[in-house]
Amino acid sequence: MAAQRKTGKWTQGLNPEQRAAVEHGEGPLLVLAGAGSGKTRVITHRVAQLMERGVRGEQILAVTFTNKAAGEMRERLRRMVGAPARAVTMCTFHALGLAMLREELGRGRRGKGARFVIYDTGDQLACLRGLAGRLRLRRNYDLEAVLARISAWKNAFVEPGETPEADDDYSQVAAIFYPAYQEALQALAAVDFDDLVVRPTRMLEREPACRERWAGRFRHVLVDEYQDTNGAQLRMLRALAGQHRNLCVVGDDDQAIYGWRGAEVRHILEFERDFAPCKVVALERNYRSVARVLDLANAVIAQNAARHAKRLVPTREAGAAVRLVVLEDGDAEAAWVAEQIEALLRERRHHPGQVAVLYRSNRLAQALETQLRAQHVPYRLLGGRSFFDRKEVKDLLAYLRVCQNPADAISLRRVINFPPRGIGPATVARLSDWAEAHEQPLFKAVERAGEVLEAGDRALPAVQAFWGVVGRATRRLRDGADLAGGLQGLVEDIGLHDEVLDSNQSGAAYERRWAGVTDLLEGLRAYGRQAERPSLRDFLAQVTLADRDQDKEEEQGERVTLSTLHGAKGLEWACVFMVGMEEGILPHERTLNPSASDMESGDLSEERRLCYVGITRARDELTLTRAARRLLHGKPRERAPSRFVSELPAELLEVVDRAAPPPEADVREHLRKIKELLGG
DNA sequence: CGGGGTACTTTTTTT
DNA sequence: AAGTACCCCG
């Protein structure tokens, strides 16, 4: 296969390892790509190269983990090969699974099976909450912990009835929930994120005709961030590429940071064995960061065992020393970082878009936001729960979901009394009792409220009014209709504007809330313009699968980025601040002291990889900070430096201590001075 | 039914 | 310290 060694135009300007990966012909290929080693470049060039060699775009599948990554990859490919880039399938595992599910289920009688909604974590929890009431459990369980176990079983293809015997409480409870949960999803015509991968994979494995359709279609499969695949995703890849074995996976075991949601680093460590014989290429030359940053990164990650041995090899100059700055407390830390950034911008050493502040957990963002605002520094927040978590937005989306799928009782319950129209828990209970007794979905009870409730019931007209609203909205939102106009009609129908106005004391709160509504309208309008065949169903699926990146693209370059370490993966900035370098934050408290409901004990090496990911985001300047004291549950506490920095040789970091001595010493000093004065 | 008050706990990361 | 869940009263 290596015989036809065309010096394609897509291998120019690549280093020898990159070129080897791009030129590799058929058969399994593992690309171990260190941070900043040109990984995305290799994938896009490889796709272009395949097309150059006559593979048609429709025959290529490239899977990523975020929609954003897929979008960027597509754009890069488009710049290289032009319009034919459109034919290539580039998407997330979940989007691929959704497409497969819709197409396969749509084959049935009039495509009824394809009429499902996608439940996000919030919906899943709401569903479990409902079940918890029915299952008569002795105490209140942490439903997130239950969900984590159910999710783990699903991804291991464990059926509801076959959960393994376990001695821990939560596994036993989850084993009771699991069958009920799965039945509930079925009844609600809903699928969760896990189903989007697990169900298509099961179809591929069990139905040869289905496998033929999909595996036969994609002659080449490429996977980005392979270290983040979970068991179900690996099985999906096996089903798709097991025959022709044209599977190219790219990743970095040192950047595996999603173990907590079922990803297994093992997959990338064992790929050579799983898909032997297999070509392996290691990309170690780093084009991103100055040498001092890479020295630090190498030293941090070297403390991890069980990894593909590799180092980041610098190609740039040494650069400035990496600083570790110690501040008095959390507020002082945020203030210091904000001042530094303000100075950088004022002296025009950087554009805002070239600067990022990274942290382990979202709650550290708050203080930073406050201080950056005080310094008038424009910023954007990556990843934090935001737009789609706003109440008004969720309520409106729930209305839309009910219109699309009236069987979605979770959404129905959410909006049946929103805005408040006098339908309380008692009425909802009567409706759902009737539904259960007659083995009907909840919406049937709503539809026939006249028969279900007594004639004199105060709530009856309210329920009928509610159903009228849903009916009108459903008619307005039919496929092919003006969706944004339909939503606008719904907003007016339920008097949402007055509701938002009345329920918010301050003008500012009202502004913010109403902005959520208008943003959603605008989003739907934009979707209507851009989608090929706009439909409510498709819009809702996109909304749930979209990564929470609510920025308007054009402004991004003009803002400083605040992001979690997870959210920063794959990105880079000239100047990076990592805050909260403390025991209990990085590594996180919960990996150090797992709580009873946690599934497995925390993985310290994953925390270290998280640290490594953060460090390797910096191109030119890197500053680490920590606070000597920090408020925890309202009380100030002394904080120890993160082991990830204290275990390193001193010469890698320039330590600057700006923390005042502890207050006791202060007091003693004062006392001493007073004594001196008295004595003198 | 809905508003307002009190008591309790606390989110690590996201498709 | 702040947000949530639950309870009681109008």
A496 and A464 share one domain:
yes
Q: Is position A664 within any domain?
A: no
Q: Is position A550 within any domain?
A: no
- Nearest nucleotide by C1' position to the A544 CA atom: B15
Q: Quote the CA–CA distance of A572 and A384 in Å, as a whole number.
A: 18
Q: Is position A678 within any domain?
A: no
What residues have CB less than 8 Å from A84, skipping those under 6 apart?
Answer: A51, A57
Question: What pLDDT does A43 receive?
Answer: 95
Q: Quote the CA–CA distance of A147 and A144 in Å, as a whole number.
A: 5
- Nearest nucleotide by C1' position to the A140 CA atom: C5
What CATH number should be reported for the domain holding residue A206?
3.40.50.300
pLDDT band at A385 (very low <50, low <70, confident <90, very high): low
Question: What pLDDT does A508 receive?
Answer: 64
Q: How many domains does chain A have?
A: 4
Q: Is the pLDDT of residue A552 over 60?
A: no
Q: Is the pLDDT of residue A451 over 80?
A: yes
A396 and A464 share one domain:
yes
Q: Classify residue A661 by its DSSP letter.
A: P
Whether the CB of A139 is less than 7 Å away from nucleic strand C comes out as no
C-beta atoms surrounding A278 within 10 Å: 16
A507 and A398 share one domain:
yes
pLDDT band at A661 (very low <50, low <70, confident <90, very high): low
The tokens for A430 are: 């009567």
Q: How far is the CA of A503 from the C1' of B2 (A)?
A: 13
- Nearest nucleotide by C1' position to the A384 CA atom: B14
Q: Is the pLDDT of residue A1 over 70?
A: no
> Minimal CA–CA distance to A626: which of A673, A586, A675?
A586
Q: Is the pLDDT of residue A439 over 50?
A: yes
Whether the CB of A631 is less than 7 Å away from nucleic strand C comes out as yes
Report the relative pairing of strands A560-564 and A379-382 from DSSP bridges.
parallel
Q: Quote the CA–CA distance of A352 and A448 in Å, as a whole number.
A: 58
Range of the domain at A165: 117-188
Report the relative pairing of strands A279-283 and A29-33 from DSSP bridges.
parallel
Q: How far is the CA of A647 from the C1' of C2 (A)?
A: 35
Q: How far is the CA of A141 from the C1' of B9 (A)?
A: 14
Whether the CB of A613 is less than 7 Å away from nucleic strand B comes out as no
Q: Which amino acid is at A268?
A: I
Q: Is the pLDDT of residue A2 over 60?
A: no
pLDDT band at A139 (very low <50, low <70, confident <90, very high): low
Residue scoring higher pLDDT (A513 or A534): A534
Whether the CB of A602 is less than 7 Å away from nucleic strand B comes out as yes
Q: Is the pLDDT of residue A15 over 50?
A: yes
A41 and A163 share one domain:
no
A520 and A414 share one domain:
yes
Whether the CB of A133 is less than 7 Å away from nucleic strand C comes out as no
pLDDT band at A217 (very low <50, low <70, confident <90, very high): very high
Q: Quote the CA–CA distance of A17 and A388 in Å, as a whole number.
A: 42
Q: Is the pLDDT of residue A168 over 80?
A: no
A61 and A121 share one domain:
no
Q: Is position A669 within any domain?
A: no
A81 and A121 share one domain:
no
Average pLDDT, integer, range A475-479? 87
Q: Is position A233 within any domain?
A: yes
Whether the CB of A383 is less than 7 Å away from nucleic strand B comes out as yes
A265 and A361 share one domain:
no
- Nearest nucleotide by C1' position to the A634 CA atom: C1
Whether the CB of A633 is less than 7 Å away from nucleic strand C comes out as yes
Question: What pLDDT does A143 receive?
Answer: 83
CA distance to A11, A105, A132, A659, per residue, from A626 (Å): 44, 53, 42, 10
Q: Which nucleotides of B are covered by protein (CB under 7 A)?
A: 1-3, 10-15
pLDDT band at A664 (very low <50, low <70, confident <90, very high): low
Report the relative pairing of strands A635-638 and A29-33 from DSSP bridges.
unpaired
- Nearest nucleotide by C1' position to the A548 CA atom: B14
Whether the CB of A634 is less than 7 Å away from nucleic strand C comes out as yes
pTM (predicted TM-score): 0.87
Q: What does the DSSP assignment read for A148-163?
A: HHHHHHHHTT--GGGP
C-beta atoms surrounding A600 within 10 Å: 10
pLDDT band at A76 (very low <50, low <70, confident <90, very high): very high
pLDDT band at A195 (very low <50, low <70, confident <90, very high): very high
Whether the CB of A404 is less than 7 Å away from nucleic strand B comes out as no
Q: Which residues of A are catalytic?
A: 39-40, 224-225, 255, 617
A609 and A631 share one domain:
yes
pLDDT tens digit string along A639-655?
999 999 998 998 999 99
**Positions 261-290 in A, CB within 7 angstroms of strand B:** 261
Domain boundary pick from A171, A188, A205: A188
A416 and A478 share one domain:
yes
**Sign of the torsion angle spanned by Cα atoms A553, A556, A561, A566:** positive
Q: How far is the CA of A142 from the C1' of C4 (A)?
A: 14
**Positions 94-123 in A, CB within 7 angstroms of strand B:** 94-95, 120-121
pLDDT band at A109 (very low <50, low <70, confident <90, very high): low
- Nearest nucleotide by C1' position to the A589 CA atom: B12
Q: Which amino acid is at A183?
A: E
Average pLDDT, integer, range A112-118? 80
pLDDT tens digit string along A398-430?
899 999 999 988 889 888 888 878 887 788 888
Q: What's the angle, vertex CA A45, arms to CA A43 and CA A49, rounded to 5?
A: 115
Whether the CB of A603 is less than 7 Å away from nucleic strand B comes out as no
Q: Please report, in angstroms and rounded to a whole number, the separation of the first and last CA atoms in chain A.
A: 94
Q: Which nucleotides of C are covered by protein (CB under 7 A)?
A: 1, 6
Question: What pLDDT does A389 receive?
Answer: 63
Residue scoring higher pLDDT (A484 or A635): A484
Average pLDDT, integer, range A45-56? 95
Question: What pLDDT does A577 receive?
Answer: 96
The protein residue nearest B13 (Cα–C1') is: A566
pLDDT band at A115 (very low <50, low <70, confident <90, very high): confident
Q: Is position A680 within any domain?
A: no
Q: Quote the CA–CA distance of A455 and A452 in Å, as a whole number.
A: 9
Whether the CB of A505 is less than 7 Å away from nucleic strand C comes out as no
pLDDT tens digit string along A302-324?
999 888 878 999 999 999 999 99
Q: Minimum mean pLDDT among A44-53, A330-339, A540-549: which range?
A: A540-549
Are A357 and A565 spatial neighbours (Cβ–Cβ below 8 Å)?
no
Q: How far is the CA of A334 from the C1' of B8 (A)?
A: 30
Q: How far is the CA of A159 from the C1' of B15 (A)?
A: 22
**Positions 51-70 in A, CB within 7 angstroms of strand B:** 65-67
Q: How far is the CA of A123 from the C1' of B4 (A)?
A: 28
A409 and A351 share one domain:
no
For A30, the 3-state DSSP assignment is: strand
Are A653 and A322 spatial neighbours (Cβ–Cβ below 8 Å)?
yes
Q: Quote the CA–CA distance of A287 and A313 in Å, as a whole number.
A: 9
Question: What pLDDT does A555 receive?
Answer: 55
A432 and A523 share one domain:
yes
What CATH number should be reported for the domain holding residue A492?
1.10.486.10
Q: Minimum mean pLDDT among A178-182, A576-580, A629-633: which range?
A: A629-633
Q: How far is the CA of A419 from the C1' of B3 (A)?
A: 15
Q: Minimum mean pLDDT among A83-97, A592-606, A608-622: which range?
A: A592-606
Residue scoring higher pLDDT (A469 or A597): A469
Q: How far is the CA of A313 from the C1' of B6 (A)?
A: 60
Q: Minimum mean pLDDT among A40-54, A237-251, A450-464, A468-482: which range?
A: A450-464
Q: Is position A572 within any domain?
A: yes
Q: How far is the CA of A158 from the C1' of B6 (A)?
A: 44
Whether the CB of A7 is less than 7 Å away from nucleic strand C comes out as no
pLDDT tens digit string along A574-596?
999 999 999 999 999 888 877 76
- Please give the mean pLDDT across all residues of chain A: 87
Q: How far is the CA of A196 from the C1' of B6 (A)?
A: 43
Question: What pLDDT does A138 receive?
Answer: 63
Whether the CB of A635 is less than 7 Å away from nucleic strand C comes out as no
**Positions 148-207 in A, CB within 7 angstroms of strand B:** 193
Question: What pLDDT does A680 receive?
Answer: 41
Q: Is position A110 within any domain?
A: no
Q: Quote the CA–CA distance of A584 and A17 in Å, as a whole number.
A: 40
Query: Helices then strands (H, E): number in chain A?
Result: 30, 19
